C-alpha cells in the first residue's frame, strides 16, 4: 500500500531546491547522528585520559563547552553541527574529532550514511561502514568501543521511552498497525506493533512501538495493558486500524468503551483485490463516493449502490465491504474537522512506508533490540512533522461525552433541521 510521505515543495532558502518530508526526516536524523557520535567520541577520549592528573590531583582533561556551530553542506542540504571543546588544564593534549575534523565543510556521501545507520547499522561492522560513508574511505574511523557506546545510547533512549508516564494527558484517538519488514528477524513471525495517539490538544504522539507475534490478539493485548499500566486509564474515543489485526479482539478487553474505525485505504485495497483488474478503477471511484459523502445518509445510499452493482457477479468483493459497514462508517459520529485524520491509518503508513522501503535491502538476520531502536529513532524523527488535528476545541467535547452526528454536535444539527 502506498501513501504519500509528504508534500514536495520548494525550499525558500535555496532557489530551485526541492524538499520533501523524507529528506527533512533524514536531515534531522543526520543532525542527531552527528551530535551523538561526536559526544560518544569525546566520552571515549576523556575515558582514555582519565588517569592523567595535574599537580593538584585534578583530572587534567575536562569538557569545556562547545566550539561555534558549523554547517556541513551535504547531499541532503545544510546540516548544522557543533563539536565539543576539551581543555587540558596544564598541558598540550588536544581533542580533535575524527568525525568532524576542522577542515571538513562538505560531504557528498552523508545521504549514504542514514540508510546504513537506520537500516543496516546493526552490527559494529555495519556502523563502521556507515561512518566510512560519511568520512571517506581514507579518513580515520571510529573505534569499535565508540560505535558500541553509540548503539547503547540509542537502545537506552528507546528503553527509557518505553517506561515513560502516560498519565498526564488523555488520548482521544488511537491509530494502530502491524508493520512487517523485508528483513529476516530473529523470529520469523515477528512484526512491529505501532500505536499513535492524539492528545486532547490535537497533537499526534508515538505511544507504543514494540514487537509481536503475527499481530496476534495476545501480543496486542500486552501492548494495550502496558499503556494502561503506565497511565492511559481513560478509554480513547476511537481506534483506527486495518481489519486484519488481532487488535480488534484485544481492544474491548482493555478499553471497553473505545469505538472502532476501519481504515478506508486498507479496505479499498482489499475489495479491489477481489475484482477483475478492468473493473477496479470504477469500483475505486464508487468506494470513494461512500467515504467522502457529506452525511451518513448519503454514505448509506452509496454503500447500497456499490453492493447492488457488484454483489451479483462478485459476491466476495461485496461481502468484504458489507461485513465491516458499521466500523467503516463510525467516523460520521465524530467531528467533521477530524474526518481527514480518522478515516485512515495514514499517520502510521506515511512514516513506516519509508522504513519498509529501506529494510527491503538489508542483509542477514536483524536482532530484536537493533530493529526496535533503529525504527524508534526514525519514528521519533518523523513525529515532530505529523500534522495536528484541526478543530482542537472539539476534542474536549468528545472527552466530555458530547454526541456528534454527521460531523456536528447532535443538538446543533437538530436546531439546524428545525430552522430549515
Phi, psi of 309 (to 5 degrees): -75, -35
- All 3 cell numbers of residue 106? 562538505
pLDDT at 11: 41
| CA-to-CA dists, residue 50 to 86, 93, 105, 272, angstroms | 13, 12, 31, 66
Tell me which residue of 399, 407, 345 sits closest to 171, measured CA to CA: 399
| CA-to-CA dists, residue 28 to 201, 316, 372, 382, angstroms | 25, 46, 19, 9
What one-character-per-residue DSSP string does 183-250 give?
SEESSTTEEEEEEEEEETTS-EEEEEEEEEETT-HHHHHHHHHHHHHTT--SPPSEEEE-TT-THHHH
Contacts for 67 with CB less than 8 Å, ≥ 6 apart: 82, 83, 84, 85
Tell me which residue of 2, 79, 31, 69 sits closest to 265, measured CA to CA: 2
Residues of the chain with CATH 3.30.420: 169-258+363-389
Phi, psi of 288 (to 5 degrees): -60, -35
**Bridge partners, residue 404, by sequence:** 409
Architecture of domain 169-258+363-389: 2-Layer Sandwich (3.30)
Contact 335, 90 (CB under 8 A): no
Measured distance CA(192)–CA(212) in Å, rounded: 6
Contact 19, 29 (CB under 8 A): no
Q: Are strands 77-81 and 70-74 parallel, antiparallel or unpaired?
A: antiparallel
Phi, psi of 121 (to 5 degrees): -75, 60
Contacts for 378 with CB less than 8 Å, ≥ 6 apart: 25, 29, 118, 351, 354, 355
- All 3 cell numbers of residue 283? 469500483
C-alpha 320: how far from its chain's center? Answer: 29
Measured distance CA(250)–CA(224) in Å, rounded: 8
Contacts for 229 with CB less than 8 Å, ≥ 6 apart: none
pLDDT at 101: 65
pTM assigned to the model: 0.69
Residues of 251-273 as b/e, b for ≥16 C-beta within 10 angstroms? beebbeebbbbbbbbbbbebbbe
pLDDT at 124: 44
pLDDT at 57: 85
Identify the H or E element spanning 36. helix 21-48
Residues of the chain with pLDDT under 50: 1-20, 22, 106-127, 129-142, 357-363, 415, 418-419
Contact 266, 242 (CB under 8 A): yes
pLDDT at 143: 55
Tell me which residue of 398, 252, 407 sits closest to 329, measured CA to CA: 407
pLDDT at 229: 96
pLDDT at 55: 83
Tell me which residue of 175, 168, 212, 174 sits closest to 193, measured CA to CA: 212
pLDDT at 105: 52
Amino acid at each position: 500500500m502506498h501513501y504519500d510521505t509528504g508534500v514536495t515543495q520548494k525550499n525558500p532558502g535555496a532557489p530551485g531546491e526541492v524538499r520533501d518530508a523524507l529528506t527533512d526526516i533524514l536531515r534531522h536524523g543526520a543532525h542527531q547522528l552527528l551530535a551523538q557520535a561526536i559526544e560518544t567520541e569525546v566520552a571515549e577520549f576523556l575515558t582514555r585520559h582519565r588517569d592523567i592528573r595535574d599537580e593538584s590531583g585534578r583530572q587534567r582533561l575536562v569538557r569545556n563547552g562547545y566550539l561555534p556551530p558549523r554547517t556541513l553542506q551535504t547531499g541532503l542540504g545544510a546540516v548544522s553541527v557543533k563539536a565539543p571543546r576539551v581543555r587540558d588544564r596544564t598541558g598540550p593534549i588536544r581533542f580533535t574529532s575524527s568525525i568532524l575534523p576542522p577542515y571538513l565543510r562538505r560531504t557528498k556521501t552523508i545521504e549514504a550514511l542514514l540508510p546504513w545507520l537506520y537500516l543496516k547499522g546493526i552490527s559494529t561492522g555495519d556502523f563502521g561502514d556507515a561512518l566510512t560513508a560519511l568520512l571517506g574511505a581514507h579518513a580515520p574511523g571510529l573505534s569499535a568501543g565508540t560505535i558500541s557506546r553509540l548503539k547503547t545510547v540509542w537502545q537506552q533512549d528507546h528503553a527509557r521511552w518505553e517506561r515513560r508516564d502516560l498519565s498526564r494527558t488523555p488520548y482521544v484517538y488511537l491509530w494502530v498497525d502491524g508493520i512487517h519488514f523485508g528483513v529476516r528477524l530473529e523470529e520469523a513471525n515477528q512484526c512491529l506493533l505501532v500505536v499513535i495517539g492524539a492528545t486532547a490538544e490535537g497533537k499526534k504522539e508515538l505511544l507504543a512501538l514494540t514487537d509481536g507475534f503475527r499481530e496476534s490478539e495476545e501480543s496486542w493485548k500486552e501492548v494495550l495493558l502496558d499503556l494502561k499500566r503506565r497511565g492511559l486509564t481513560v478509554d480513547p474515543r476511537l481506534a483506527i486500524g486495518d481489519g486484519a489485526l488481532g487488535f480488534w479482539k484485544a481492544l474491548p478487553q482493555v478499553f471497553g468503551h473505545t469505538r472502532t474505525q476501519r481504515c478506508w485505504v486498507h479496505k479499498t485495497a482489499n475489495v479491489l483485490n477481489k475484482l477483475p483488474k478492468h473493473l477496479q478503477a470504477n469500483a475505486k471511484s464508487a468506494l470513494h463516493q461512500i467515504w467522502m459523502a457529506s452525511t451518513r445518509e448519503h454514505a448509506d445510499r452509496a454503500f447500497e449502490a456499490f453492493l447492488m452493482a457488484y454483489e451479483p457477479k462478485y459476491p466476495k468483493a461485496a461481502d468484504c465491504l458489507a461485513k465491516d459497514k458499521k466500523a467503516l462508517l463510525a467516523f460520521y459520529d465524530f467531528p467533521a474537522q477530524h474526518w481527514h485524520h480518522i478515516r485512515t491509518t495514514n499517520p502510521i503508513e506515511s512514516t513506516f512506508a519509508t522504513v519498509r522501503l529501506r529494510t527491503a535491502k538489508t542483509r542477514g538476520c536483524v536482532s530484536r533490540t537493533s530493529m526496535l531502536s533503529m525504527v524508534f529513532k526514525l519514528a521519533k524523527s518523523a513525529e515532530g512533522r505529523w500534522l495536528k488535528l484541526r478543530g482542537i476545541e472539539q476534542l474536549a467535547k468528545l472527552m466530555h461525552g458530547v454526541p456528534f452526528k454527521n460531523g456536528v454536535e447532535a443538538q446543533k444539527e437538530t436546531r439546524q433541521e428545525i430552522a430549515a
